[in-house]
Structure 1
Amino acid sequence: MTPEIRKLVAVEEETWIEGFKPASQPWRMFAVAAVVRNPWAGRYVEDLTPEIQAFGPVIGELLTDRITRLAGGADAIEAYGKAAVAGLDGEIEHASGLIHTLRFGNHYRQAVGAKSYLAFTNTRGPANAPIAVPLMDINDAGRRSHYLTVQFAIPDAPRSDEIVVVLGGATGGRPHHRIGDRYKDLEAMGHDVDNPASV
């Protein structure tokens, strides 16, 4: 059992001036997407496990290879995330199933040496639906400079029986970030900086 991939799509933007001020170096954000036939489209399936386990490693390895090449190497990626959009004959659960499995995400996580979880969205929509891939620092979930979003759309995808599966990345944070990070807020509010979950 292998995924039926209709096409791959790559998007990239390189920002030289942000907020009316030149960046010290160009800021790059990018994403790669696989348009995959939804094996569960148009019907209710109780057990999604066989397809998740079969498809996850294939799509995860393929997209990880593509995005690290697009970035110029895995070590160039400082922020990362993932997304999936199910077509209208699919469920949100189908989109979730293909990206919320370690068989998919661990390819990317291990390639970039990440400690943080992969930020995500999972949605449903027609062809040309907005795709938003939230990003965060690969090692520090509280580093707000790397809270980013890659946005794009694919004019002919997802078809009703497809799922668009996406990995996103960035070579750095916002060029002129100046809102501090989560830890400064915690400290100012008198919370335990070493255990943000205690809040």
Structure 2
Amino acid sequence: MPDLIIRKIISSREEIYHEGGPVVDTPLLRGSIMAIIQNPFAGKYEPEIQGFMEDLKPLGLEMAQRLLDMLGGPDKIEGYGKGSLVGEGGELEHGALWHAPGGYAMRQLLGTANAIVPSSKKVGGVGARLDVPITHVNAAYVRSHFDSMEVGCNDAPRANELAFALVMTTGPRVHSRSGGLEAWDIKGEDGLR
């Protein structure tokens, strides 16, 4: 498969103390990391692309570890998600190559994550933004952890690039009060409840 060529890696960390209600003692942390890489398939249709997923696995592990370090380690993480932005010379399917390398990397480093990692992807021009969905790491139906984080870069993705993102959070939305399954009621049997 083609070489993995990284142009840049961007990371961001938010500390959320309130959303109009009382200030919390411990802020919710939300973090993202995004790698801008060359798209080896840009500008042409390539029928066999699955092998590139193997090449992306070390990148997924490196990004997940850096994100975990930024947010305080695996025992602090309660939510996660992933996403892909594909430059105009590529196709949506190139963004789908991030599903396994990004998702499995986070689940492997977290150790106890049972829920599927939610994801989004789109084709966009330079400066495109992507809302990456977030759910609880052990039970996708925990409503308090339904969230999203916007990612993007002012000079990416260029037509021949891919932007792969991972996001994690340390807890529910600040002031969550919409009901539904609560984190302390997780059974952990199927990654849903």
Decide which moves more: 67-76 or 81-90: 67-76
Q: Which runs of 4+ in 1 moved over 6 A?
A: none
Structure of higher CA gyration radius: 1
Q: 1:140 to 1:8 in 2, by over 3 A?
A: same
- TM-score, normalised with respect to structure 2: 0.89
2:54 corresponds to = 53
Question: Unpaired segments of 5 or more residues in structure 2?
Answer: 183-188
- For residues 37-63 of structure 1, the C-alpha deviation after alignment (integer angstroms, 9 at most, x for no partner) is 0010000011102222222x1221111
- TM-score, normalised with respect to structure 1: 0.86
2:103 corresponds to = 105
Aligned to 1:65, the other structure's residue is in SS state helix
How far is the alpha carbon of 1:139 from its aligned partner? Answer: 0.4
Aligned to 2:96, the other structure's residue is in SS state helix
Cα distance in 2 for residues equivalent to 1:100 and 1:16: 32
Aligned to 1:116, the other structure's residue is in SS state coil
Q: How does 1:77-156 map to 2 (within 5 A)?
A: 77-97=77-97, 99-101=98-100, 103-112=101-110, 113-156=112-155
The 8 Å contact of residues 21 and 175 in structure 2, kept in 1 or not, is answered as no
- For residues 167-187 of structure 1, the C-alpha deviation after alignment (integer angstroms, 9 at most, x for no partner) is 00101001211111159xxxx
- For residues 58-97 of structure 1, the C-alpha deviation after alignment (integer angstroms, 9 at most, x for no partner) is 2211111111111111111110000000001010100112
2:64 corresponds to = 64
Cα distance in 2 for residues equivalent to 1:130 and 1:32: 14
Count of residues paired in the alignment: 184
Aligned to 2:162, the other structure's residue is in SS state strand
User: Structure 2 counterpart of 1:94, which letter?
Assistant: H
Cα distance in 1 for residues equivalent to 2:71 and 2:6: 22
* % same residue: 30
How far is the alpha carbon of 1:5 from its aligned partner? Answer: 0.6
Cα distance in 1 for residues equivalent to 2:144 and 2:119: 17
Question: Unpaired segments of 5 or more residues in structure 1?
Answer: 184-193
Cα distance in 2 for residues equivalent to 1:29 and 1:144: 17
1:27 corresponds to = 28
2:176 corresponds to = 177
The 8 Å contact of residues 24 and 175 in structure 1, kept in 2 or not, is answered as no
The 8 Å contact of residues 86 and 125 in structure 1, kept in 2 or not, is answered as yes
